[in-house]
Structures are given as C-alpha cells and as structure tokens.
C-alpha cells in the first residue's frame, strides 16, 4: 500500500471529523466547532495520509514563533502500526522546523499506553502531568520535543 501525505483541504473536513469521532470517546473527540477552531489557529496546518483515495488519518499542528503544538494525530485502527502516524508526524515536524519552530509540545492521556509509547518512541519527553485535563477528569502528560 502506497501512503501519500498531502495538505488537508476544506473538502476533507467531514471525513476528518468522522475519523476523530470514531477514534475518540465522547468528551475526548472534538466537536465540529472545536475542530474548525483548531484548523483556524495561527500557524495551523492539516496533513492527511491517504492510500487508494481513502483517508487513513490526519495530523493537525499549529505554531506561534518558535513553539509548535500537535493538536491531534488521528489514524484509523486498521492502519495503525503501518507507519501512518509516523509519516504524518515526520512531515508535520519537518514543516514546523522549516517555519522556524524549535520545540513542539502536546498533551496525551496518562492512561493511553499506546499513545504515550508512540510519542516517547518519537523523542517526546514528559514535562509534567496536567490533572483533570480532559472533560471526563482524566489526566494528561504534557510532552515536548526539541526539533531543528
């Protein structure tokens, strides 16, 4: 399967929203309004991974000056462990670095072992814990990575 990473377009929005709803539980998944607001942030970019015309996942980042932020990386379950998330993240970090970003930050649920392992494997380190970060009261790790 040949995976292609491209810029997201407004025409992708409903598919991206549906993917986010499928992947995350209520209270974690973004509402349409929240996803639209994140896509409109200063320095926001959306990358889409697709194969055979099907969207497999997407990444949303934003940045202000030298600090970048991973809003979300969503990959449909059948395509996990196939480097889709890695391909999206690599391209997102490359673009952030090209735009002058030197550090990327994110939050991830402390009880999501596979997500924590994904971020750690890619060089992100825990900076602290944010208690009750998610609407359902779950805690999050604040993580970051220096990029050049």
pLDDT level of residue 137 (50, 70, 90 thresholds): confident
Given this model, what pLDDT does residue 1 score?
A: 78
What would the two tokens of residue 37 be?
């607001």
Domain spanning 4-146, CATH architecture: 3-Layer(aba) Sandwich (3.40)
Q: What CA–CA distance (Å, rounded) separates 103 from 123? A: 11
Q: How do strand 67-75 and strand 103-109 relate by DSSP bridges?
A: parallel
Report residue 36 CA to chain centroid gap.
Answer: 14
Interval 12-65: pLDDT, tens? 999 999 999 999 888 789 999 999 999 999 899 999 999 999 999 999 999 998
Confidence (pTM): 0.93
pLDDT level of residue 126 (50, 70, 90 thresholds): very high
Interval 75-106: pLDDT, tens? 999 999 899 999 999 999 999 999 999 999 99
Q: How do strand 54-64 and strand 45-51 relate by DSSP bridges?
A: antiparallel
HEC secondary structure over the chain: CCCEEEECCHHHHHHHHHHHHHHCCCCCCCCHHHHHHHHCCCCCEEEEEEECCEEEEEEEEEEECCEEEEEEEEECHHHCCCCHHHHHHHHHHHHHHHCCCCEEEEEEECCCHHHHHHHHHCCCEEEEEECCCCCCCCCEEEEEEECC
What would the two tokens of residue 79 be?
């395509």
Every domain of the chain and the residues it spans: 4-146
What would the two tokens of residue 4 be?
């292609």
């Amino acid at each position: 399967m040949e995976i292609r990473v491209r810029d997201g377009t407004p025409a992708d929005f409903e598919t991206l929203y549906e993917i986010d709803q499928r992947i995350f539980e209520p209270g974690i998944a973004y509402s349409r309004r929240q996803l639209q607001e994140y896509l409109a942030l200063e320095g926001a970019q959306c990358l889409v991974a697709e194969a055979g015309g099907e969207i497999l996942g997407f990444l949303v980042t934003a940045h202000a000056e030298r600090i970048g932020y991973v809003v979300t990386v969503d990959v449909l379950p059948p395509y996990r462990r196939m480097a889709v998330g890695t391909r999206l993240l690599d391209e997102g970090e490359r673009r952030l670095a090209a735009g002058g970003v030197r550090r990327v930050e994110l939050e991830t649920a402390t009880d999501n072992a596979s997500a924590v392992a994904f971020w750690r494997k890619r060089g992100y380190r825990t900076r602290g814990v944010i208690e009750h970060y998610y609407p359902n009261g779950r805690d999050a790790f604040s993580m970051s990575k220096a990029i050049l």
